[in-house]
Structure 1
């Protein structure tokens, strides 16, 4: 009795993931405002009403795309319970991973810039995302300080804001340089000026 509903549920989840993947690609290509739900539906091989069954608004699809990216990256960052220096090292490793997925980096950079407008549907999402990112990075610096490996004069809160800003700025430089900028290398060099241990 339950096999068919489960199969239907799994099929629905797979279709949602496919829609998110195609939306992520299109948002990266033309930006959030330039992408249409009809084009995304066409890429998925479904009708426009079929897409609306899964995501009733363009805003709901954008947020699903952003949340999916954060969920995947969050799980990766948390592997092995990384804290302190390990967490900071993992952020540099994340930049290395991002260098293999231009579409995702483009999506984030384009939408983050668009979302500075309070009217943008992802504005609140990005405000909260940056708050969480800076807070978690500040905790990593504070942990490094507790371990005695943070150089004197480095304030965890300020260092966290600097590192997040550096990561985002490097992504823009990387995109504009035709992917030539060594994002991970620059981040590791920056971290080496703050820490007394090897990365």
Structure 2
């Protein structure tokens, strides 16, 4: 019973941290602000997450779990139709997308606490996307691309569309643009 309450409290803290980071950015977010949202003192929050960096990484990991339904690490989680569904889902939650995008942008600096998380994450994503592309299309993608060379392009399109959509959601139909890109990856049919 106590463990279940502790897990519920952690989940509540993660949701609050995501909100605070979305509003203020990582550097502007404070443990005190997160603690206040969930009715804790900062010291009480440190019982669950010993540092701000630990809280940030937990938020990012939780976000990935939400996105993949807990299937990260398996090729099943990255089937192309599921990727299309994820893009559609993201189009319904701009706050989460904004937080992820802001943290990704901030993480390119040497001292950012999420840098290692994103570096690891993208290595895994590229590997999983290459496996999916190989399963879907074999080794013969248009332009002579291998699945390994196309995987970073696929990840870049997903992230780049998010930035464009966040800046001008009326001009960028993120799900449709993603489907257009997938169409470019399909091998041409012989006539």
Could you state the TM-score of these two structures normalised by the residue count of structure 2? 0.89
Say whether residues 1:186 and 2:186 are aligned partners: no
Q: Is the 8 A contact 2:140 2:146 kept in 1?
A: no
From 13, 27, 33, give the equivalent of 1:39: 33
Partner Cα separation in structure 2 for residue 133 and residue 173 of structure 1: 21
Aligned counterparts, 1:16-31, within 5 A: 16-31=10-25
Aligned counterparts, 1:23-172, within 5 A: 23-75=17-69, 82=76, 87-146=79-138, 150-151=141-142, 153-172=144-163
Deviation at 1:41, TM superposition (A): 0.7
Q: Is the 8 A contact 1:154 1:194 kept in 2?
A: no
Gaps of 5+ in 2: none
1:148-182 alpha-carbon deviations (Å, 9 max, x no partner): 88546232122111110111111111111146521
- What secondary structure does 1:188 align onto? helix
1:30-70 alpha-carbon deviations (Å, 9 max, x no partner): 11000011011111111111111111110010000000011
Partner Cα separation in structure 1 for residue 54 and residue 81 of structure 2: 33
Deviation at 1:183, TM superposition (A): 1.0
Q: Is the 8 A contact 2:65 2:71 kept in 1?
A: no
Gaps of 5+ in 1: 1-6
User: CA RMSD, aligned part only?
Assistant: 2.3
Write out the 4+ residue segments of structure 1 that deviate beyond 3 Å after TM superposition.
80-83, 148-152
Partner Cα separation in structure 2 for residue 169 and residue 82 of structure 1: 24
Could you state the TM-score of these two structures normalised by the residue count of structure 1? 0.86
Alpha carbons of structure 1 residues 175 and 141: separation in structure 2 relative to 1, 3 Å: same
